[in-house]
Amino acid sequence: MDQAKFEQILNTSIEKHAFPGVVSIRQKDQVLYARAAGYAERSNRIKNSLETRFGIASGTKFFTALAIGKLIEAQKLSFSTRLKDCVALDFPRYSQEITIRHLLTHTSGIPDYYDEEKIEDFNNFTLSIPWYALRGPRDYLATFPEEAMKFAPGERFSYSNGGYILLGVVIEELAGMKYQDFVEQAIFKAIGMNRSGYFALNKLPENTAMGYVEEENEWRTNIYNLPVVGASDGGAFTTVHDITTLWKAFWNYQILPKELVEIYAQPYVRTKTEGEYTYYGHGLWISKEEGRDCEEYVTGCDAGVSFMSRVNRVNEIQVTVISNTTNGAWPVLRDIDAALKEERMW
């Protein structure tokens, strides 16, 4: 690998796209490239660093899936456990046959409170109750639409934020504590993700990036576009170093046992809407294109947030890009992909 050329390509990409955020590319335990750019707080010109905490939007769903895995390991439920047997919910139009597996794999068919197949403007989306009232999974239930099922459980894939909210409710019911507390104790603290958490947007800890939305050639923060505290479908904060810790612990069976890791990382359902070669496992996206190594990844996008972290287990390359803007991560990720292909590393 021509290290100097590789770094030049990525540095040029970051400058060209005025990228705000962090990039980390590793192979095994070697850092191939790491850089922070742009501002964590624009008004006071506080720069991002490799230690900065960032929101990762729906990347949080992987934490929720892992928390469910911990409950499965503890034999408090199984993939085939029906939702109605875990919690009492007042949704008479929902199928009685929805299982934990359906919710984990986005195949439940429930109508979604935040349906990404219908939303056209993520930067200005609102709900029937104010964002500051959303502090835990149960708070979201009042926003669920009173509609019929989209399809019968297991019939097909349809990305569902509401499905992961319901998983959060299940976690709270079975764990006997707040969803956020369970994830922080059972995952973050247990494996050493010491800078990750569910932080309130009006009480962010030091060295945490604000999220920004571009509007009429100006930037505004995303504090009025998101729940005040993240829950089971999105909103956790983390760092590139903690993401590395997460992947290492996951693949080394330090979070879940081998049999569950293999199930989570196995393609379960073809997504179709996300690409011909894209599948979903259990909390993980999987790209399985003919002629290329399989890769597993987590991703998230919201007002003021764009994130992806992916792993190629054949050559042990891990790519993580987090931006504190709505679309900042995507052009840099495309350039990284092209550079790795040129080096025949991806």
The string of pLDDT tens digits covering residues 70-81 is 999 999 999 999
Q: What is the pLDDT of residues 257-284, one digit of tens each?
A: 999 999 999 999 999 766 678 999 999 9
Q: Look at residue 274 in the predicted model and tell me its pLDDT.
A: 62
For the cut 90, the answer to whether the pLDDT of residue 186 exceeds it is yes
Q: Which of 138-152, 232-246, 281-295 has the lowest mean pLDDT?
A: 281-295
Q: Which of 48-52, 309-313, 338-342 has the lowest mean pLDDT?
A: 338-342
Q: What is the pLDDT of residues 325-341, one digit of tens each?
A: 999 999 999 999 999 98
How many domains does the chain fold into? 1
Q: Look at residue 122 in the predicted model and tell me its pLDDT.
A: 65
Q: Look at residue 118 in the predicted model and tell me its pLDDT.
A: 77
Q: What is the pLDDT of residues 217-251, one digit of tens each?
A: 899 999 999 999 999 999 999 999 999 999 999 99
**3-state secondary structure string across the chain:** CCHHHHHHHHHHHHHHCCCCEEEEEEECCEEEEEEEECEEECCCCEECCCCCEEECHHHHHHHHHHHHHHHHHCCCCCCCCEHHHCCCCCCCCCCCCCEHHHHHCCCCCCCCCCCCCCCCCHHHCCCCCCHHHCCCHHHHHHHCCCCCCCCCCCCCCCCCHHHHHHHHHHHHHHHCCCHHHHHHHHHHHHHCCCCCECCCCCCCCCCECCCEEEECCEEEECCCCCCCCCECCECCEECHHHHHHHHHHHHCCCCCCHHHHHHHCCCCEEEECCEEEEEECCCCEEECCCCCCCEEEEEEEECCEEEEEEEECCCCEEEEEEECECCCHHHHHHHHHHHHHHCCCC
Average pLDDT across the chain, whole number = 94
Q: Look at residue 268 in the predicted model and tell me its pLDDT.
A: 97
Mean pLDDT of 304-314: 97
Of the pLDDT bands very low, low, confident and very high (cuts 50, 70, 90), residue 343 is confident
Q: What is the pLDDT of residues 17-32, one digit of tens each?
A: 999 999 999 999 899 9
CATH number for 237:
3.40.710.10
Which structural domain range is residue 310 located in? 3-342
Q: Look at residue 292 in the predicted model and tell me its pLDDT.
A: 80
Mean pLDDT of 113-120: 79
Mean pLDDT of 166-176: 98
For the cut 90, the answer to whether the pLDDT of residue 95 exceeds it is yes
